[in-house]
Chains A and B, each alone.
Chain A
C-alpha cells in the first residue's frame, strides 16, 4: 500500500506527516488523541542518516509530549551495506535509535509498529521490533534474508529449505511466520483507523511475545528456556 493511501486510511481525522529522504515524520489525529508518526518508505535501506533522523524524531517527541503514543510505520529493506556506514559504525547508530525508542516507552509513550511494506533484518530489529506491539498489513513482507541467499550461506539446497518452510515457521520469510512466532500481534485488514484505535486502547506494556509464540505453536521452546534460566535452574 502506498504511504499516502495508508495515512488517509489510518487518520481520517487528518495528519501532518512529511517525507524527506525516505524518512517519515510528523503527527496525526486519532479518536484516542494525537500520535507521533515516524517511519520509512520506499523499502528504504537504513543508513546512518536515516537512523539519526528517526532517533531525532523520537527524542523530540519524548521531550515535547512524553506520553504521546508513537506510531512506527515500517517499510525497510534492511540496513544499508556500504563501507561508509560500517566505517562510521552503523551498529552504534541503530543501537542509539533502539535506546531512544526504549526511553520513549519508559517515559510513557505507547509504541505501536505497523509493517506496511517490508521489514528486514537489522532495519527491523532496531526500529519496528522495539515496539510494544507489532501489527502488519496482509501484504507485508517480513524476513531476515531471502531464501536463495539463505540457502547459499547455510549450504543447504533451496528445495530442502522450501520443503521445511512448509511445516516450520522458524526460518522462512513471511509475515504469517512472524504471526505464528508471536512477534506480529495481528494483521490489519479493512478499517485501519479502527484497528489503530484498538491498538492504542489495548493494555500498555510489551506484548508477551514468547508466550504468544508458544500458544500459536511457532516458538515452542523459548518461553520455557528463558523462564528456567531466569528462575536459576542449574
Chain B
C-alpha cells in the first residue's frame, strides 16, 4: 500500500516484520551497510546435540549477533531466527547471546537491541538452554546496570515465550507489534495441563487478547505498540533510545515502584478472566473493537484510558 508524501514521491510500503527472516529484520532495522556479524555462518558453529539426534543444524544455530548503527548510534544486536527450531535457545545459540551481552558491557554501545522470536528453551538441549537463559538474564541485567539501554523488539510468529518471555521483560523497553505475543506458558501447554475450558489453544482471538501486543501494551508489559513493519520498529527503537538519554532512576526506588505497580495490577484485575474485562476496567469504550483496529487507530482509541 503506497502513500504519496508531500512532495508527491511514492513512499515504499513498510515490509512486514512478521514475515521477515531474522537477517531481513536486521537489514531493515539498521543503517544500510552498517551490520557486522559476529561468529557468522562461516564459523559453522552448529549444534552437536541436534546432530546426535539426527536433526538438521544451522550454520548460525538460529541466532544472528553482531554490531551496527541505528541512525548513527552504535548498537549491538541479536536476532533469533524463528523458523529454525522455533527460535529456541540451545547451547551454542544461548552462548552467542550471552557473549554478545558481555561484549556490550566491555564496549559500551549506545544500546543493545534484542529481537526475540522464540518459544524459550530448545528441549533437545533442555538443560543447556535453561542454563543459557539464566546467563542471558544475568547478562541483560549487567548491561542495564552499566547504563546501556536494552530494547526487546517482539513481532515474530513465535513471539517471546518461556524463558525468553522472562528475558524480554528484563530489558528496559519492550516494543511489540499487534502480531507479537509475550508470555510464559504457551496456549497448548495450558490446554494440555489444565484442559480446554481453562484455555482453548485454537481460539486465536483469545490467544491474542491474552498474550498479544495490544493487550500487553494496555497492561503495561510493552512500552510501545507498532504496526507490523520493519520501519515502524525502527522508528520506535530510535524513540526508545532517545528517551533513555534521560537520567536513570535509583534502582531500588525503581524496583519498589515497579513492585507497587504489579501489586496494583494483581488487585485491580484479580477477578478478570479475559483481556476484554481488563480493557473495560480501564474505561475503554467498545473494547471488543480493539482487536480490529490498526495500530494508529488503536492507539487513538486507548489514549484516554485509565492505565
When distances are taken between beta carbons in the complex, the residues of chain B under 8 Å from A144 are: 121, 123, 126-127, 129-130
CA of A143 to CA of B127, assembled, Å: 7
CA of A100 to CA of B133, assembled, Å: 17
Interface size on B, as a range, is 35 or more
Q: Does B58 contact A (CB under 8 A)?
A: no
CA of A146 to CA of B170, assembled, Å: 27
CA of A209 to CA of B53, assembled, Å: 25
Stretch binding the partner chain, chosen from B96-104, B223-231, B237-245:
B96-104
Q: Does A187 contact B (CB under 8 A)?
A: no
Q: Does A216 contact B (CB under 8 A)?
A: no
Asked whether, in the complex, the Cβ of B256 is within 8 Å of the Cβ of A170, the reply is no
Asked whether, in the complex, the Cβ of B103 is within 8 Å of the Cβ of A91, the reply is no
Contact A52/B266 with A106-B251, A221-B48 known, Cβ cut-off 8 Å: yes
CA of A156 to CA of B124, assembled, Å: 9
**Majority-rule SS of B interface residues:** helix
Asked whether, in the complex, the Cβ of B166 is within 8 Å of the Cβ of A94, the reply is yes
When distances are taken between beta carbons in the complex, the residues of chain B under 8 Å from A121 are: 121, 130, 162-163
When distances are taken between beta carbons in the complex, the residues of chain A under 8 Å from B219 are: 88-89
Contact of B94 among A99, A125, A126, A222 (CB under 8 A): A222
Contact A229/B39 with A82-B198, A221-B91 known, Cβ cut-off 8 Å: yes
CA of A194 to CA of B266, assembled, Å: 41
CA of A182 to CA of B95, assembled, Å: 14
Q: How many A-B residue pairs have CB under 8 A?
A: 251
Asked whether, in the complex, the Cβ of A95 is within 8 Å of the Cβ of B272, the reply is no
Asked whether, in the complex, the Cβ of A129 is within 8 Å of the Cβ of B134, the reply is yes
CA of A182 to CA of B128, assembled, Å: 10
**1/0 per position for B157-189, CB-CB distance to A under 8 A?**
000001101111110000000000011110001
Contact A84/B273 with A103-B252, A106-B145, A130-B137 known, Cβ cut-off 8 Å: yes
Asked whether, in the complex, the Cβ of A92 is within 8 Å of the Cβ of B262, the reply is yes
Q: Does B131 contact A (CB under 8 A)?
A: yes
CA of A52 to CA of B133, assembled, Å: 21
CA of A30 to CA of B265, assembled, Å: 38
Asked whether, in the complex, the Cβ of A96 is within 8 Å of the Cβ of B258, the reply is yes
Within 8 A of B (CB), among A167-223: 168-172, 177-178, 181-183, 206, 209-210, 213, 219, 221-223
Within 8 A of A (CB), among B106-152: 106, 121, 123-135, 137-138, 141, 145
Apart from A144-B121, A144-B126, A230-B100, 19 more pairs, CB < 8 Å:
A52-B266, A87-B210, A89-B216, A91-B168, A96-B255, A99-B255, A103-B255, A121-B163, A126-B166, A144-B127, A144-B129, A210-B135, A221-B45, A221-B92, A222-B128, A226-B96, A226-B98, A232-B103, A234-B39
Interface pairs A-B: 3 shortest CB-CB? A229-B99, A95-B169, A226-B99
**Can you show 5 pairs from A to B with CB atoms below 8 A apart?**
A89-B216, A95-B166, A103-B252, A129-B137, A234-B37
Chain A positions within 8 Å of B, measured between CB atoms, are: 48-49, 52, 55-56, 59, 62-63, 79, 81-96, 98-100, 102-103, 106-107, 121-122, 124-126, 129-130, 143-145, 150, 153-154, 156, 160, 164, 168-172, 177-178, 181-183, 206, 209-210, 213, 219, 221-223, 225-234
